[in-house]
Structure 1
Amino acid sequence: MQHITGRAAFMAGVGTLALGLALAGCSSDDGAAAPSGSGTAPVAASTGPVTLITHDSFAVDKKQLAAFEKQTGITVKLVKQGDAGQLTNQLVLTKDSPLGDAVFGIDNTFATRAVDAGVLADHTPAGQPSEAAQYAVDGSDGKQQLTPIDYGDVCLNVDHTWFTKKGVAEPKTLDDLTQPAYKDLTVVENPATSSPGLAFLLATISAKGQDGYLDYWKALKANGLKIDQGWEDAYYTDFSGADGKGPRPIVLSYSSSPAFTLSKDKTSTTTGALLDTCFRQVEYAGVLNGAKNPAAAAKVVDWLQSTEVQSTIPDLMYMYPVDPAATIPAAWKKFAPLATKPLDVPAADITQHREQWIKDWTAAVVG
């Protein structure tokens, strides 16, 4: 299915980011290269070309790429494949003839699909922080295949200015959105065409259960919910808090979004995230099974988890780095907090039910 990337549009909208690729490498222990299709990435030091397959929102510093290539003799070719869902689908379809050597952008809503399909090789970066290791995804042999790189919360956002002017109390919970006071005020993204939309669908399944989430969505629809195909339309066209022109003061976005709607003196923000509505996304990198240059690909993955690269993630990809030693912008600490108890659905349940949940949601809500 086609997926529309929210953060790619956000980057283009704010116009402050330079898209690029920054990868600098850690050396690995020497060892023999694994044969193609073995499911295990080698640890031999290597140079040469690496094709990195990514989602459309991937962005890092070009100077870091140049330094990496000079230091290691590895040249990196970037190939973008749409959103996380489209990316994963393409990797599964081409697993017998891989599109590249490494991947970045598979998220936790699609992670087990890639692992179960045999898309990835075993690889664990040396010195991986324990804070990152808690998010890692292992293969059937119990060895790490997906290396966590960043994470963030998909949450409903509100326009503080709109609610203040109207004298209406801001909603705080999922249930508030079904109340008459918030009729025709909310816009979200379609889970069949948007990765934030899918994350929010999973949030409602976590909160309401498999037996109750469709009733909740029907109540939202009855209360005037608008559903857009992608994040850009929802945030920049329908949301009042982006530029003040949209008609709806409640939108599905990210907990980091308020850090980019600051007042002129940067002492406050005009929007806020509802932290009781969040679903946490984790994004991964990995070595592709059957890669032409797996040893060099492993070094690329290691550098994506390095403190240097991790410190660029908030400004370039609007996500939190998994390395606790990485630098976090001051505005994020104040205006982009993470949810203390994000809603969650087990990976195995997502794998088993994802397509059926989307199908059932479409039938019940879109018709």
Structure 2
Amino acid sequence: MALAVLTGLFAAPAFAEEAPTLTIYTYDGFASEWGPGPGLKAGFEATCGGCVVNWIAADSSIGTLRRVQLEGDSTPADIIVGLDTATAGEARDTGLFLDHGLALTDLTLPEPWTDKQFVPFDYAHFAFMYDTDKITTPPKSFEELIAEPASFKIAIQDPRSSTPGFGLVLWVKAAYGDRAPEIWKGLKPHILTITRDWSESYNLFLQGEADMALSYTTSPTYHIVSDGDHTIKAALFEEGHLAQTEVAGILKSSKHPELAKQFLAYLTSTAGQKIIPTTNWMLPVIDLGADLDASFEGLPQPTKTLTITDADIKAHGQDWIDEMLAAVQ
């Protein structure tokens, strides 16, 4: 009897260890209880035949990349979820990522997707949010924003720690080119603060401390769905807007590369994509048809999408960050 009991005690942990654990690094908002993480975990675990998804969150997606750079081949991560098209080039250059090997034939992104290492899972254009109860006529360009009284304040994010913050740097550069330092100097009196991450600056806006905050053209859907509030809008700028596409990639050191590939396939499937719009408040990368929440219908979108090449970002991104910081500090 004693032998049988001991056998049973040791058998249970051994059985539990048979379930492969897929470790995924992401940013804290994605893994939070209100983000897409819990739904994606439950959905994928129901299809993968006994695997376990383990989210490990950093304060930003850039933070996830820095972590795997430090950990190298010893990282426990199988996948990073939440890098974007502005940081994918740097991530690719680390040599830490595998080709995903997926066909991705159903994507409906603004431009064709050709990246062999990173898989897109949502997108939206950068924009400044405002409250129609407080601002009836929002600025229609960066130059109109600069022309506002000095008391008109915006909250933005640090490009060194935040992908939206870096996105703003790229947006200004794509719109104004060599005039970018001039635009930043004009914006300086209006910058209430530069926060480390998106949530901090957006909360300042919601608390009324900033008149506008850098976010996305899709952000109003959160307020519509969560609070029935239609007063939060995205200001559309005449010079156009830069789009951010968020991506996921498999690390070469992954202990479960095939399972990781299955997760990326699930992430871009109808089942996975249905979870993202009303949890991450971004547009899906495939056509969901009637499954896309009604709050996204008729959402004002830019008439002009600005672009900037991976090669330019890799060659000049840090210089443009330094240019911005020198102008506003």
Bucket of the pairwise TM-score, normalised by the shorter protein: 0.7 to 0.9
Alignment of structure 1 residues 56-71 onto 2, 5 Å: 56-58=28-30, 59-60=35-36, 62=38, 65-71=41-47
Instruction: Give me the whole-angstrom Cα distance separating, in 2, the residues matched to 1:63 and 1:259.
Output: 19
Instruction: Give me the whole-angstrom Cα distance separating, in 2, the residues matched to 1:325 and 1:257.
Output: 19
Quick one: which of 205, 215, 218 aligns to 2:182?
Answer: 215
Letter in 2 for 1:299: Q
Q: Is the 8 A contact 1:51 1:76 kept in 2?
A: yes
Q: Is the 8 A contact 1:103 1:286 kept in 2?
A: yes
The yes-or-no answer on 1:225 pairing with 2:191 is yes
CA 191–135 in structure 1, closer or farther in 2 if over 3 Å, else same: farther
Quick one: which of 310, 314, 326 aligns to 1:363?
Answer: 326
Q: Is the 8 A contact 1:255 1:337 kept in 2?
A: yes
Quick one: which of 279, 283, 292 aligns to 2:242?
Answer: 279
Instruction: Give me the whole-angstrom Cα distance separating, in 2, the residues matched to 1:295 and 1:358.
Output: 37
Instruction: Give me the whole-angstrom Cα distance separating, in 2, the residues matched to 1:48 and 1:306.
Output: 22
Deviations 1:92-147 (A, max 9, x none): 33333333212211111100111121121111324531425956453xxxxx1101
Q: Which residue of 2 aligns with 1:118?
A: 95
Q: Is the 8 A contact 1:101 1:288 kept in 2?
A: yes
Q: Is the 8 A contact 1:95 1:118 kept in 2?
A: no
Q: Is the 8 A contact 1:192 1:198 kept in 2?
A: yes
Following TM superposition, by how much is the alpha carbon of 1:184 offset from its aligned partner in structure 2, in angstroms?
A: 2.3
Q: Is the 8 A contact 2:36 2:276 kept in 1?
A: yes
Question: C-alpha root-mean-square deviation of aligned residues, in Å?
Answer: 2.7
Following TM superposition, by how much is the alpha carbon of 1:289 offset from its aligned partner in structure 2, in angstroms?
A: 1.0
The yes-or-no answer on 1:188 pairing with 2:155 is yes
Residues matched between the structures, number: 302
Following TM superposition, by how much is the alpha carbon of 1:160 offset from its aligned partner in structure 2, in angstroms?
A: 1.4
Instruction: Give me the whole-angstrom Cα distance separating, in 2, the residues matched to 1:193 and 1:53.
Output: 16
Deviations 1:21-54 (A, max 9, x none): xxxxxxxxxxxxxxxxxxxxxxxxx972211121
CA 260–52 in structure 1, closer or farther in 2 if over 3 Å, else same: closer
CA 318–96 in structure 1, closer or farther in 2 if over 3 Å, else same: same
The yes-or-no answer on 1:331 pairing with 2:295 is yes
Instruction: Give me the whole-angstrom Cα distance separating, in 1, the residues matched to 2:327 and 2:184.
Output: 8
Instruction: Give me the whole-angstrom Cα distance separating, in 1, the residues matched to 2:39 and 2:215.
Output: 30
Following TM superposition, by how much is the alpha carbon of 1:79 offset from its aligned partner in structure 2, in angstroms?
A: 1.4
Q: Is the 8 A contact 1:149 1:284 kept in 2?
A: yes
Letter in 1 for 2:187: L
Q: Which residue of 2 aligns with 1:259?
A: 221
The yes-or-no answer on 1:289 pairing with 2:266 is no
Quick one: which of 176, 183, 186 aligns to 2:144?
Answer: 176
Q: Is the 8 A contact 2:142 2:183 kept in 1?
A: no
Long gaps (5+) in structure 2: 1-17
The yes-or-no answer on 1:314 pairing with 2:277 is yes
Secondary structure (helix, strand or coil) at the match of 1:52 reads strand
Alignment of structure 1 residues 75-154 onto 2, 5 Å: 75-126=52-103, 128-131=105-108, 134=111, 136=113, 138=115, 144-154=116-126
CA 358–98 in structure 1, closer or farther in 2 if over 3 Å, else same: same
Secondary structure (helix, strand or coil) at the match of 1:57 reads helix
Q: Is the 8 A contact 1:135 1:148 kept in 2?
A: no
CA 293–154 in structure 1, closer or farther in 2 if over 3 Å, else same: same
Secondary structure (helix, strand or coil) at the match of 1:163 reads coil
Following TM superposition, by how much is the alpha carbon of 1:280 offset from its aligned partner in structure 2, in angstroms?
A: 1.0
Letter in 1 for 2:165: G
Following TM superposition, by how much is the alpha carbon of 1:154 offset from its aligned partner in structure 2, in angstroms?
A: 1.6
Instruction: Give me the whole-angstrom Cα distance separating, in 2, the residues matched to 1:127 and 1:218.
Output: 42
Deviations 1:35-77 (A, max 9, x none): xxxxxxxxxxx97221112122223364653453243222221
CA 149–263 in structure 1, closer or farther in 2 if over 3 Å, else same: closer
* Deviating more after overlay: 87-96 vs 151-160: 87-96
Letter in 2 for 1:54: T
Letter in 2 for 1:226: L
CA 285–231 in structure 1, closer or farther in 2 if over 3 Å, else same: closer
Following TM superposition, by how much is the alpha carbon of 1:177 offset from its aligned partner in structure 2, in angstroms?
A: 0.9
Instruction: Give me the whole-angstrom Cα distance separating, in 2, the residues matched to 1:178 and 1:252.
Output: 15
Letter in 2 for 1:294: P
Instruction: Give me the whole-angstrom Cα distance separating, in 2, the residues matched to 1:290 and 1:231.
Output: 30
The yes-or-no answer on 1:340 pairing with 2:316 is no
Q: Which residue of 2 aligns with 1:141?
A: none
Q: Which residue of 2 aligns with 1:19?
A: none
Percent of matched pairs sharing the same residue: 29
Instruction: Give me the whole-angstrom Cα distance separating, in 2, the residues matched to 1:76 and 1:264.
Output: 27
The yes-or-no answer on 1:249 pairing with 2:188 is no
